[in-house]
Amino acid sequence: MPLKLIRADITKLSCDAIVNAANSTLLGGGGVDGAIHKAAGRGLLLECMKLGGCKPGQAKITGGYNLPCKYVIHTVGPKWRGGTHGEKETLQSCYREALRLAEENGCGSVAFPLISAGVYGYPKAQAFRVAVDAITEYLLTGDLLVYLVIFDSAAYQISEKLYGEIAAYIDDCYVERHSDTPAQQYSRLYDGESFPLAPSAPDVPCAAANPADDTDMFCDALKTCAAKQPVELEEALRRLDESFSEMLLRKIDEKGISDAACYKKANIDRKLFSKIRSNRLYKPSKPTALAFAVALELPLAETGELLQKAGFALSHSSKFDIIVEYFIRRGVYDIFRINEALFAFDQNLLGG
């Protein structure tokens, strides 16, 4: 199951469990803890009073009471003390323990806030990194749908340097877009290759000086054209023969990876992958198609080919496309890193 970054108020989510960044008394506090208790009502507090508190890095589960979720999993994050007091390990443990409890209680979906990233002072970008790493590690074997809920500004999630570089890259691409011809844009986008399906101009000879010769030459040119086109058309139709699904499965084989490794790396749900696998004419969305290109670590030209099978292309008039291109060009195929950047720029995310 995938990890989804969403911007929301966690108290409004109707997934099976939401996680509370609680304090060790478990008796309510400020921030997300206060919001959860307020929305859940007094029943939650009464149940929490029986739990005897909770140590940092551990987790306990209660009912959801007036919340739209079934359960609240309370975990206590570390207070930031400079990063040298095992804060990272404690924070990792919060995510692992909460996920374990969710699984043990038969949950299908769970939503996390950014634990410790508020009053407890864990630097937000680092807290975010720990969260994403811990959840993705779990997802290698686990089968929950996990939401990471971002409540405030997103720009901090990636380092300022990366944010600046991507912003500059977007600017450059937009500028290039206004100064290049479409052919140049395509060639730039696909590492200097010419457009693969562009119809090649027929070899029409230049007009001759003599008008009689002109007619003959024109007829010859037409014949050449007529003789050539069926072959080109056949060739084009042959290319069309391979569908998105077939190309995807072929490339998975060529890479020598398992289906599961591929859809997990693509942050795609197993059910969606099964649909694509069983329906050769399945047309995925652009974020899904691109997610597979990233999971397969395809270079830009091959990414373009796979996208084309789904009826899409990378375009410099879309920030989403430019950001994905930025990472592919640099050989960065970690879908969660790419999604962090997409999220920071308020774009759709890759994957299911």
Among all residues, which ones are annotated catalytic? 33
Q: Using CB under 6 A, which of 142, 151, 249, 255 touches ligand ADP? A: 151
Question: CA-to-CA distance for 315 and 338, rounded, in angstroms?
Answer: 17
- State the Rg of the chain over Cα: 27
Q: Using CB under 6 A, which of 61, 67, 114, 350 touches ligand ADP? A: 114
Question: Nearer Cβ to ligand ADP, position 87 or 305?
Answer: 87
Question: Nearer Cβ to ligand ADP, position 117 or 349?
Answer: 117
Q: Using CB under 6 A, which of 113, 284, 351, 352 touches ligand ADP? A: 113
Helical H segments across the chain, by residue range? 31-40, 42-49, 87-104, 124-139, 160-179, 182-189, 211-241, 244-255, 259-265, 270-278, 286-295, 300-309, 319-329, 335-344
Q: Using CB under 6 A, which of 26, 44, 117, 154 touches ligand ADP? A: 117
Between β-strands 3-7 and 145-150, what pairing exists: parallel, antiparallel or unpaired? parallel
Binders of ligand ADP among 19-58, rule CB under 6 A? Answer: 21, 31-33, 35
Question: Taking the alpha carbons of 126, 132, 133, 135 in that order, is the dihedral positive or negative?
Answer: positive
Q: Which helix (H) or strand (E) holds 145?
A: strand 145-150
Q: Which two tokens stand for residue 238?
A: 């042959």
Asked whether position 119 contacts ligand ADP by CB under 6 A, the answer is yes
Asked whether position 289 contacts ligand ADP by CB under 6 A, the answer is no
Eight-state DSSP code of residue 242: S
Asked whether position 298 contacts ligand ADP by CB under 6 A, the answer is no
Asked whether position 17 contacts ligand ADP by CB under 6 A, the answer is no
Asked whether position 155 contacts ligand ADP by CB under 6 A, the answer is no
Q: How far is the CB of 1 from ligand ADP (least distance, A)?
A: 21
Q: How far is the CB of 27 from ligand ADP (least distance, A)?
A: 14
Q: Which two tokens stand for residue 69?
A: 């979720």
| Positions in the binding site for ligand ADP (CB under 6 A) | 9-11, 21, 31-33, 35, 77, 113-120, 149, 151-152
